[in-house]
Structure 1
Amino acid sequence: MEWLLLGFAAFIAGLVDAVVGGGGLIQIPALLAAFPGVAIPILFGTNKVSSVAGTLSACVRYARTVPIPWTVAGWAAAAALAGAWFGAQAVSLLPKEVMKPFVLVLLVLVGGYTFTKKDFGRLERHPLRTGLVVPAALLTGAGIGFYDGFFGPGTGSFLIFIFVRWFGFDFLKASVSAKVVNVATNLAAIASFGLSDGILWRVGALMAVANLCGAQVGSHLALKHGNGFVRWLFLFVVSMLVAKLGWDLVHS
């Protein structure tokens, strides 16, 4: 029964993650419930093993229909790979609790902006000058990568918001770009956790299969229903993140 619940959680996480990110909201509580005596970093590393399979498969699925803007996504992913590694290494230097109020405020602003701007992410725009695209991509990748390695909640949502707001992508193109960056951050985190704290590889492998299946369903739904569907699921996941972080702050 425990394995079935983990598999189901990974499937739903993969589905949600393939569209707008936020799969960790589902997988990490499931892992904590299944393995209460296992150290948190080991479970975080196991979560990344599952997530990277679904994220990579969703990226491939999107790429068949939505052209990946490699000038942005490639540079952002390269910077995120390094940023996530250093973020994971910095975990011991600063308590994660200090991040929660700051991230909570950011998520409220992101959700509020997206909700009030009805046309946000529906059509592609080009707000950045050509000379600023690569520096902005590097800055995005390094900053979000470090955040993902250090803390993590809302990484996919922040990436999608930045790709829409800064680079003028529509929601579908922002989502596939976020997947490219997330693959890099997940690989860096797996390397970091694997070399230091360890990973439950058998559990991660089982969940990876279920996550991959969920990611295929999620990417299919996103491509079928388009930017409007992605926008509303984005708002739903941001709301769940706000509720989760708010609950943690009130009960800490």
Structure 2
Amino acid sequence: MLDPWLYPLFALVAVGTGFIDAIAGGGGLIMMPALLFAGVPPLHALAANKLQSVFGTSIALRNYWRGGLVDWRSYRGVVLLVFAGAAVGGFVVQSLRPRLLDLVIPLLLAAVALYVLLSPRMHDKDAHQRLTPAGYAPLGALLGFYDGFFGPGAGTFYTTSLVALRGHGLTRAAGNTKLLNFTSNLAGVVLFIAGGRMWWTLGLVMAAGAVVGGWLGSHTAMRFGARLIRPLLVIISLALTAKLLWSYFH
């Protein structure tokens, strides 16, 4: 078990991760190393991180929804496949941790950073969609699998793919990302609970902080839009890339 003084500390960390997740994703970059450094076993750390993410994402989703930035009807089928993909990912990670992902994911994140920097589509105006919701669904399932399996950067991948392939402006993409991210987080939580990996006290303390961060982050994103989301996407993508490459080679 953890020392008692660590619980309020993790609640404060969760405020920051919830804020970042609500805008650009990638809060796991902060939370997962902190949990592991404190001595939380890896699978229990993943489980606690998923639980706090469910709460933080839910409050951000509510705010985006009330702001008219979530297209529930269009994404009903995608949500089902994302849930299924994340459930499979959550099952697989409890028995297998392929080292190959430690190298592949940083390369993908570096590509995301380059796309966000160079693409003229990274603004708040909706553009022509390259994929229908049905066409996007298989990719959603794949990203759901990744989120259930590991997670850090999943929100960034959701947002970038919704801009590039669905033609969403950045703020609308962030809103719909919360719908998909909430779905994959929820599936992960269910699987970790079923596997007996959940540390409830730690997860719920962190969830309280994540709710505050998610509320603040979603309101901030809706207020400032693409001029805030775009640089944060780049920063989070490059930071995740550096962290994961360091872990892989070190």
Same fold, judged at TM 0.5 (above):
yes
After TM superposition, give the deviation of residue 61 of structure 1 in Å. Answer: 0.6
Q: Deviations over 1:16-51 (max 9, x none)?
A: 0011111111122222233x1x43111211111111
Match for 1:18 among 9, 18, 22? 22
- The verdict on how the C-alpha distance between 1:73 and 1:228 changes in structure 2, with shifts beyond 3 A counting, is farther
Whole-Å separation in 2 of the counterparts to 1:165 and 1:21: 17
What is the DSSP-based 3-state SS (H/G/I as helix, E as strand, rest coil) of the residue aligned with 1:178?
helix
- The verdict on how the C-alpha distance between 1:49 and 1:27 changes in structure 2, with shifts beyond 3 A counting, is same
- The verdict on how the C-alpha distance between 1:125 and 1:210 changes in structure 2, with shifts beyond 3 A counting, is same
Q: Deviations over 1:174-204 (max 9, x none)?
A: 1111110111111111111111132111111
Q: Is 2:28 the counterpart of 1:29? A: no
Runs of 4+ in 1 over 3 A off after TM superposition: 92-95
Q: Report the AA paired with residue 117 of structure 1.
A: S
Q: Report the AA paired with residue 160 of structure 1.
A: T
Whole-Å separation in 1 of the counterparts to 2:192 and 2:35: 16
After TM superposition, give the deviation of residue 71 of structure 1 in Å. Answer: 4.0
Q: Report the AA paired with residue 224 of structure 1.
A: R
Which residue does the alignment assign to 1:241?
240
- The verdict on how the C-alpha distance between 1:92 and 1:33 changes in structure 2, with shifts beyond 3 A counting, is closer
8 Å Cα contact 1:73-1:178 kept in structure 2: no
Whole-Å separation in 1 of the counterparts to 2:138 and 2:215: 30
The more displaced of 228-237 and 99-108 is: 99-108
Q: Report the AA paired with residue 90 of structure 2.
A: A
After TM superposition, give the deviation of residue 224 of structure 1 in Å. Answer: 1.1
After TM superposition, give the deviation of residue 95 of structure 1 in Å. Answer: 3.4
Q: Deviations over 1:50-89 (max 9, x none)?
A: 1100100001011111331224433222111110111122
After TM superposition, give the deviation of residue 118 of structure 1 in Å. Answer: 4.3
8 Å Cα contact 2:23-2:217 kept in structure 1: yes
Which residue does the alignment assign to 1:58?
60
Which residue does the alignment assign to 1:209?
208
Which residue does the alignment assign to 2:111?
109
After TM superposition, give the deviation of residue 164 of structure 1 in Å. Answer: 0.2
User: TM-score of the superposition, structure 1-length normalised?
Assistant: 0.92
Q: Report the AA paired with residue 225 of structure 2.
A: G
After TM superposition, give the deviation of residue 110 of structure 1 in Å. Answer: 1.3
User: TM-score of the superposition, structure 2-length normalised?
Assistant: 0.93
Question: What is the identity percentage for the equivalent residue pairs of Structure 1 and Structure 2?
Answer: 33
Which residue does the alignment assign to 1:134?
133
Length, aligned pairs only = 246
Whole-Å separation in 2 of the counterparts to 1:235 and 1:180: 22
After TM superposition, give the deviation of residue 223 of structure 1 in Å. Answer: 1.1
Match for 1:4 among 4, 8, 26? 8
8 Å Cα contact 2:61-2:175 kept in structure 1: yes
What is the correspondence of 1:212-227 to structure 2 with a 5 Å cutoff? 212-227=211-226
After TM superposition, give the deviation of residue 134 of structure 1 in Å. Answer: 3.0
8 Å Cα contact 1:16-1:23 kept in structure 2: yes
RMSD: 1.6
Q: Deviations over 1:109-139 (max 9, x none)?
A: 11112101244233211223xxx51322321
Which residue does the alignment assign to 1:167?
166
Q: Report the AA paired with residue 106 of structure 1.
A: L
Which residue does the alignment assign to 2:77?
75
Whole-Å separation in 1 of the counterparts to 2:97 and 2:197: 21
What is the DSSP-based 3-state SS (H/G/I as helix, E as strand, rest coil) of the residue aligned with 2:132?
helix
What is the DSSP-based 3-state SS (H/G/I as helix, E as strand, rest coil) of the residue aligned with 1:68?
coil
Q: Report the AA paired with residue 62 of structure 2.
A: V
Give the gaps of 5 or more residues in structure 1: none
